[in-house]
C-alpha cells in the first residue's frame, strides 16, 4: 500500500523483498488477488492479460462488463465532450481520450438472478 504509482506485481515483489527478503513472487500474486477481490484497491485495466483488437476506427468509447469482460462500442457522438476543470500536469500533450463505462451487461444481470452464486 505504501507504493506510489501503479506498480506491476514484479515491482511490488522487488519492493516487498527489501522488508521480507524470503518472500516469493507467487505470494505477491496471491496477496494482490486477495486485495483485488476484497476491493481494497483496483487494477488499472480490466483487460490486461491478452491483447484485444479494436477495428472500429471512428472515435468511440467502451461499455465494459465487469463480470464477463465483454465490450460494447458506443459512438463518441453519443457522449457530451469530456471537459477538464483544471489544466493538466505540466507538459502533457493530449492526443485523444477514451471513456470506459463499467457495469454489468444484460446477460450477466440475467445470469446473476438465476445463478446468484456465479
Partner DNA sequence: ATCGCTGCAAAACATTTGCAGTTTG
Partner DNA sequence: CAAACTGCAAATGTTTTGCAGCGAT
- Smaller CB distance to a second copy: residue 21 or 39? 39
Interacting residues toward a second copy by CB under 8 A: 1, 3, 5-10, 12, 32, 40-57, 62-63, 65-66, 71-72, 74, 77-80, 82-86, 88-106, 109
Query: Which of helix, strand or coil describes residue 3?
Result: coil
- Cβ-Cβ contacts under 8 Å for 52 (sequence gap 6 or more): 71
Query: Which of helix, strand or coil describes residue 19?
Result: helix
- Smaller CB distance to a second copy: residue 20 or 41? 41
116 contacts which partner out of DNA, a second copy, none, CB within 5 to 8 A by kind? none
Q: How far apart are CB 111 and DNA at their closest, in Å?
A: 20
Give the pairing type, strands 71-75 and 60-65: antiparallel
Q: How far apart are CB 38 and DNA at their closest, in Å?
A: 10
CA distance 49 to 82: 28
Q: How far apart are CB 117 and a second copy at their closest, in Å?
A: 19
Q: How far apart are CB 114 and DNA at their closest, in Å?
A: 24
Interacting residues toward DNA by CB under 7 A: 8-10, 20, 22-27, 29-31, 33-34, 48-51
Contact (Cβ atoms closer than 8 angstroms) between residue 63 and residue 72 = yes
CA distance 69 to 59: 21
Amino acid at each position: 500500500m505504501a507504493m506510489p504509482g501503479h506498480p506491476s506485481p514484479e515491482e511490488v515483489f522487488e519492493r516487498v523483498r527489501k522488508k521480507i527478503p524470503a518472500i516469493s513472487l507467487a505470494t505477491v500474486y496471491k496477496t494482490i488477488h486477495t486485495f483485488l477481490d476484497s476491493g481494497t484497491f483496483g487494477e488499472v485495466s480490466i483487460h490486461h492479460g491478452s491483447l484485444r483488437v479494436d477495428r472500429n476506427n471512428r472515435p468511440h468509447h467502451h461499455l465494459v462488463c465487469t463480470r464477463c469482460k465483454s465490450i460494447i462500442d458506443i459512438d463518441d457522438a453519443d457522449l457530451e465532450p469530456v471537459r477538464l476543470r483544471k489544466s493538466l500536469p505540466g507538459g502533457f500533450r493530449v492526443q485523444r481520450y477514451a471513456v470506459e463505462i463499467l457495469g454489468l451487461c444484460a446477460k450477466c444481470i440475467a445470469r446473476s438472478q438465476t445463478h446468484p452464486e456465479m
